[in-house]
């Protein structure tokens, strides 16, 4: 990743503990679209993992397969992300960075979808990097219907996306935002995710 990300909770932040706590809060009524599950498995495969490791990650989710716009338990996604991050930690140096890279891949897969391609088409020739924040807002609406995302503009080059309910750890959100920025051609992006409650976050996105 070529843009800048800052740890949302500072040096004391523990991504693995954060994920474990969110699994406990992901009760059955919360579901997530299959596109994010598929992105996580794709990343494990693309990094050359053997079939046994991919199968182990899939089994951790409790599901057998995924369809892009079907809904699956959010707790299954978190277990899948946890298994994948532990498998990828040796490559990226930490569980937190592995989660950030999984978020990046999720952003990449989203931008390759019909919705993401439409956003990229709109961006061609445009001089409106604010579209980045609106695109990320759309991702939450499409993949996590319970998230209730809203945007507060702090100026022409900074927006804060407030998400009322989200279960993925902070670095997952940072990675996804940076992937979208890269695909939309927005330069010198800085992203900082911070918790504002047990399930709520703010994603502070700025650019030059």
CA–CA separation, 44 and 136 (whole Å) = 23
Tokens of 131: 């579209």
Pairing of strands 190-195, 158-163: unpaired
Topology of domain 4-206, CATH: H-NOX domain (3.90.1520)
| pLDDT attached to residue 190 | 93
Tokens of 71: 């809904």
Burial readout 104-140 (b: 16 or more C-beta within 10 A, e: otherwise): bbbbbbbbebebbeebbeebeeeeebbbbbebbbbbb
Is pLDDT at 2 greater than 50 in this prediction? no
Question: Is the model more confident about 193 or about 5?
Answer: 193
CA–CA separation, 156 and 106 (whole Å) = 27
CA–CA separation, 1 and 4 (whole Å) = 8
Percent of the chain with pLDDT over 90: 46
Q: What's the mean pLDDT in 165-171? A: 92
Residues whose CB falls within 8 Å of the CB of residue 155, separated by 6 or more in sequence, listed in order: none
Q: What's the mean pLDDT in 147-155? A: 90
- Of 131, 140, 138, 139, the closest CA to residue 181 belongs to 131
pLDDT tens column, 59-82: 999 999 999 889 999 999 999 999
Percentage helix, strand, coil for the chain under 3-state DSSP, each rounded to 5 = 55, 15, 30
Question: Is the model more confident about 116 or about 167?
Answer: 167
Q: How confident is the model at residue 8 (pLDDT cuts 50, 70, 90)?
A: low
CB 49 within 8 A of CB 63: no
Question: Is the model more confident about 169 or about 132?
Answer: 169
- Of 135, 128, 198, the closest CA to residue 166 belongs to 198
Q: How confident is the model at residue 120 (pLDDT cuts 50, 70, 90)?
A: low
Pairing of strands 201-206, 150-155: unpaired
By three-state DSSP, how is residue 185 classified? coil
Percent of the chain with pLDDT over 70: 87
Residues whose CB falls within 8 Å of the CB of residue 177, separated by 6 or more in sequence, listed in order: 107, 132, 136, 189, 191, 203, 205
The model's pTM is 0.86
pLDDT tens column, 87-109: 999 989 999 999 999 999 888 88
CA–CA separation, 85 and 96 (whole Å) = 8
């Amino acid at each position: 990743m070529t843009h800048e990300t800052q740890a949302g909770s500072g040096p004391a932040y523990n991504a693995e503990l954060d994920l474990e706590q969110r699994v406990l809060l992901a009760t059955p009524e919360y579901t997530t679209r299959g596109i994010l599950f598929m992105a996580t498995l794709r990343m494990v495969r693309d990094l050359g993992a053997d079939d046994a490791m991919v199968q182990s990650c899939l089994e951790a989710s409790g599901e057998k397969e995924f369809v892009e716009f079907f809904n699956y338990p959010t707790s299954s996604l978190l277990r899948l992300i946890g298994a994948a991050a532990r498998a990828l930690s040796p490559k990226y140096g930490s569980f937190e960075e592995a989660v950030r890279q999984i978020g990046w891949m999720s952003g990449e897969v989203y931008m390759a979808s019909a919705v993401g391609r439409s956003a990229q088409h709109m961006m061609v020739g445009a001089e409106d990097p604010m579209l980045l924040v609106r695109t990320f807002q759309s991702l939450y609406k499409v993949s996590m219907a319970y998230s209730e995302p809203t945007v507060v503009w702090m100026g022409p080059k900074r927006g804060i996306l407030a998400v009322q309910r989200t279960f993925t750890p902070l670095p997952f959100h940072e990675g996804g935002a940076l992937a979208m920025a890269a695909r939309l051609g927005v330069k010198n992006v800085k992203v900082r995710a911070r918790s504002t409650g047990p399930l709520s976050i703010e994603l502070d996105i700025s650019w030059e």
